[in-house]
Amino acid sequence: MLSLKNVSRTFNDGSTGFKNINFKSEKGEIIGLLGTSGCGKSTLLRVVSGLDIEYTGSVKINDDLIKAVHEKVGIIFQEPRLMPWLNVVDNIGFGLNDKKDKQKEAQTFVDLVGLNGFGEHFPKDLSGGMAQRVSIARALITNPEVLLLDEPFSALDAFTKMQLQDLLLKIWHQYQATIVLVTHDIDEALYLCDRIFILRGQPGEVYKELQVPVSRPRSRGDEELAKMKATILDLLDLSQVENGESHDDIKTTTTK
């Protein structure tokens, strides 16, 4: 399980980054980190992943203190970050050690993310959504217990985004990994997460913790979720925009 105790990581003499983050995940829980840009969401994810170990406090996965990248962690970045010289199958198997059934194992993940028949294609021939599917498969193949997603769908069009959100839920049902999702899309957080932490300020702090009491499968037009969205918008205090503070990052698209 993932647990954070008094975790802080700041830059520029403490003016950016985040501080005093505490939470403990349940097994197979989906946790959303929601906040405006510059509140340290992505930094927090880098700390949890072990890519940034210059933090204070303690981050633990199954009681192992994170000092480097933990083998039970998988990450999906905002960009697919595929190796352009490898085809889809080899990209998916990228993190596996060289062993005999590597190809076969990668092939099953090609099918899992719905890319049957595209195994031999190279990244230059893939659309944005397909490339992100490959990166999802690449993160899953090492069978992570904690899956970290850093605004994974923010660069995709609305329809592809919905498809991939549903794909993520399908996979989550199958693997029951704990997921930490960083996002600035309120609808996405409400559709996917069990618990949402709202981060605010510079450096960012947890401003509010919200349970999403709607059972899955959720409808994107759910009334309860719409109410929660209004609450969250309130909490984020977007009126500050008029006072000159920029929160243009917050997406307030209405779902159909």
Partner 1 sequence: MSSKIESLSQQSKWKVKNRIHFPKKLKVVLYGSVIPAFLLLVWQILSMVGVFERHLMPAPTLVLEKIISMVADGTLWAHIGVTLLRILIGFTIGVVFAVVLGSVIGYLKRAEQLMDPLIQGFRAIPSLAWVPLFILWMGIGESSKIMLIAVGVFFPVYLNIVSGIQGVDRKLIEVGKIYNFTPFQLIRKVILPASLPSFFTGIRSGLGLGWMFVVAAELMGASKGIGYLLVVGQNTYSPDLVLASIVMIAILGKLTDSALKAIESKSLHWQDSFGKQS
Report the interface residues with partner 1, using CB under 8 A: 49, 51, 68-69, 71, 73-75, 77, 79, 81, 83-86, 94-95, 117-118, 121-125, 127, 129-130, 142
| Spatial distance between the Cα atoms of 228 and 233, rounded to a whole number of angstroms | 9
Q: Which is nearer to partner 1, 125 or 234 (CB)?
A: 125
By residue count, the chain amounts to: 256
Nearer to partner 1, 116 or 246 (CB): 116
Least Cβ distance, residue 206 to partner 1 (angstroms): 26
**Which of 52, 33, 49 has its CA nearest to residue 41?**
33
Can you tell me the distance from the alpha carbon of 44 to that of 214, in angstroms, rounded to the nearest whole number?
27
CB of 79 to partner 1, least distance (A): 7
120 vs 245, beta carbon nearer partner 1: 120
d(Cα 46, Cα 93) in Å, to the nearest integer?
A: 23
Min. distance of Cβ 240 from partner 1 in angstroms? 32
Minimal distance in Å, beta carbon 243 to partner 1? Answer: 35
Q: Which helix (H) or strand (E) holds 11?
A: strand 2-11
Q: Which is nearer to partner 1, 117 or 213 (CB)?
A: 117
Quick one: DSSP state of residue 183? E
Of 138 and 184, the one with the shorter C-beta distance to partner 1 is 138
> Smallest gap, in angstroms, from Cβ of residue 150 to partner 1?
11
Contacts of residue 46, Cβ cutoff 8 Å, sequence gap at least 6: 52
> Of all helices (H) and strands (E), which one includes residue 159?
helix 158-175
CB nearer to partner 1: pick between 129 and 204: 129
Q: Kindly give, in sequence order, each residue whose CB lies less than 8 Å from that of residue 74, ignoring residues fewer than 6 positions away.
A: 139, 140, 142, 144, 146, 147, 148, 177
CB of 234 to partner 1, least distance (A): 36
